[in-house]
Every structure is written in structure tokens, then in C-alpha cells.
Amino acid sequence: MADGRADRAVDRAPKGLLLRGYLLAARALPLIAPTVLRRRLARGKEDPARWREKLGEPSQPRPEAPVIWLHAVGLGEVLALRGLIAEMAAQAPDAEFLVTSTARSSALVMAANLPPRTRHQFLPLDAPRYVARFLDHWRPVLSVWAEQEIWPGAVVAAHARAIPLAMVNARITAASHARRARVRGLYADLLARFALVLAQDQGTADRLADLGAQGVRIGGSLKPAAPPLSVDLAELARLRAALEGRKIWVAASTHPGDEAEALAAALPDRLLILAPRDIGRADQIAADLAARGLPFVRRSQSDLPGPQTRVWLADSFGELGLWYRLADTALVGGGFDVIGGHNPWEAAALDTAVLHGPDVGNFAADYARLDQAQAARRVAPGELAAALQDPGLPAMAARARALVAAAQGSLAPLAADLLALTRHP
């Protein structure tokens, strides 16, 4: 693998007026960015130790090895990259990996789930000064962008340095495409810079091609191929011993609609672990549990469920790997609200049977794949209690786990294609 590249004798300048206008406006961002970030810091929305990474200031040294840079916007997208990183690491034992994201939550969870030879940083704000500082330090030999977020300044700057660009796991809905089509020239100029574009499905491939991407291929979703979420093994053993003999299910990444269904199905002979998507709602949920007369304890208060406890409120962050291992069945949230569902593969990877509500539009292809293989079950409002009694749940979980294993074994060609870009810009 080559480490770093000089600019090639090609025209890499922005062509369109929209992109040139964006890049010109971005030069003014440093006038306000530090003030805005400090205000966010005061409200707890930025990491006190790492917020200056968003100004392009690294908090870790660059390894003395070729660095492959991968970016995803949030927690779920970042976690989905882990399987791909592991496969690339196996094929390129001399490479190191840098993962960037923008959400604070992604850094907290990724820290416990980093693949070998991988570090995390926040992506700098999209001003030329910040991006240049970031690229000067890390000097990546490849830039991989996941899902649908691309930052114009970073893409143009990487391309100007002859850093190969790839997009993987791309997913763009019809609504998102319609918004981007209003500035089609901007996206055409950006997408033409990508040497490899892999869409999750045919609809996304068609929309990306319409926006100007060239040679789009369908590669499916990376989420099924991600390794299982990490866990504190000592804590897992402690809780298994404390809860021995109890049947346990989890309602994971829940919103109010999911919680209403889960609490209505809270069976006397089963312990429900209720893990809300936003733990900032924990006090509100606790008040609802008290109003319903459901005996409960809170994880944040270090209380263990007793024999009469019906609900364990998991008001802690980054412990889904623990809850999925304790439970035999999961209601994966987001399906009973106008949310579009959440990732079912994290549960499937840990042999936990997957139940879901009807609204899974953001994961339509994932749930269709599971449902068609009889590896998940859709439940309508009021049907959850009956679904929890289904004797076929263990077999359903085994079928889902088989899909995960097959997906993990399919990453080698993609990893090879990406690594080839580091040798052939």
C-alpha cells in the first residue's frame, strides 16, 4: 500500500457554480464555529475533552502506517462499519484505520466497540482551514463515506490531494433524493469524484445515478455483517447469576409508541428490560411505570430486579450488547412511532429473536430480508403479548443468526475492491 500521494496532473477543481459558492461561503465558518461549539459544550452537546477535533485539531497521533479513513454520521452508521474494517484489516495487515463521525453518542459507544488498529475522531467542520489541518495530520490513503452524508469541503479537499474516494452502504430515500435534486449540480460535481459507489438497494442506486454518480453498484447493507456489540463479560456473568431462572425479554431503542406496546405486554412471568433510545426520557418513563403500578427498578441506581420486578428500566448508555445477551427476545423499537424502525441486526447477531412494529421504512430492505427468511416477526398494535408466547421464537432467532453469518462472510470482495483503490488512484 502506498502511504500518501502527490497531486496528479488532472483537473480536480470544482466545476459547478453551486459547489464553488459553497466552498467560498465555508471560508467564513471559522468566524463563528468556535463560539457555536462552546455554546454547545455548555449545553452538554459536545465532548469537553474532544470538541476541538471539530476544528481539525487531532487528539491522537498519526500511526506510522498507511491510514484508511472511514466516515459515518451517527452511532448506527459508525457501528455498521466494524465488519468491513475487520475484513480490510485482515487483508491489509500493514494498514491502520481512522473512523470519524459527528454525533457525540457515536464516540461514546464506538470507544467500547473499536476494531483492532482503529481509532475514532470527530469530523472537522467543513471549512477549508479545518479540513486541511485534519488531512495534513492524518494523510489518509483512502477516504470511505458511508450511508448518505457527504461533506462537500472534505470531499473536494481529499480529491484535490489525490486521495481515492469511495461511498459504501449508501441509502437515499425518495424524499431525500427530492431535496438533493434541487441542487443537482452540487451533487453531480461531488459524486463524480468517487471512484467506487455501492448502494444498499436498486432504488438508492437509481437515485444516486440520477444525481450524477457513475457506475453505481448494489452491495447491500453493511449492518448484517457487523460484529456483535461488545459487553463487559464480568458484568454479564454477574447478571446471569443474579437473574438465573427468569425469562427475560428486551424492548430496545424504544420511543413512546413502542413503550406503550411493551408495557401493555409486560407479562407477570417475564422480566422486561426497557432500554429507551433517549435515556433523557428516563424520568418520564419511570413516572409512567409508577402510574401503571408496575414494579420496576432503574439501572442507573444500580438496583437489581427482585422476584416481583416486572420492568428493569435500562437508563444507561451503550449497554445494548449486555441486554441482548441476557434476553431471548427483543422488540426492536421505532416501529410503533413515526420513526421508521431501528437496526434489527444487532439483536440477530446475538441469537435474540427479533419482533418489530409495522413502521420500519428506514430499514425496509433489512426487515424484508429477515421477514422473508422467517427470521423476524412483524407485530401489529395489541399483538405483542401473543408474539412473546410463540414457541417458534428460538428457531426464528437461529435463522436470523444464519443470515448474519452469511453476511459476515461476504465482505471479502468489497474489502479487496476498496484496498485496490489505495494502489490504483
Joined together, the cell numbers standing for residue 418 give: 476498496
Q: Output the DSSP codes for 132-201.
A: HHHHHHH--SEEEEETT---HHHHHHHHHTT--EEEEEE---HHHHHHHHTTHHHHHHHHTT-SEEEESS
The Cα 360–Cα 367 span in angstroms is: 7
Q: Comparing C-alpha atoms, which of 126, 148, 102 is closest to residue 25?
A: 126
**Residues belonging to the active site:** 77
The Cα 35–Cα 55 span in angstroms is: 11
Secondary structure (3-state) at 67: strand
In angstroms, the Cα distances linking 264 to 39, 125, 142 are 41, 45, 50
In angstroms, the Cα distances linking 273 to 67, 255, 317, 322, 381 are 40, 14, 14, 11, 19
Length of the chain, in residues: 425
Q: Comparing C-alpha atoms, which of 242, 247, 244 is closest to residue 268?
A: 247
Joined together, the cell numbers standing for residue 47 give: 465532548
Count of C-beta atoms within a 10 Å radius of residue 301: 9
- Cβ(343)–Cβ(305) under 8 Å? no
φ and ψ of 239, to 5 deg: -70, -35
Q: Comparing C-alpha atoms, which of 350, 361, 406, 400 is closest to residue 377?
A: 400
What does DSSP assign to residue 125?
P
Secondary structure (3-state) at 375: coil
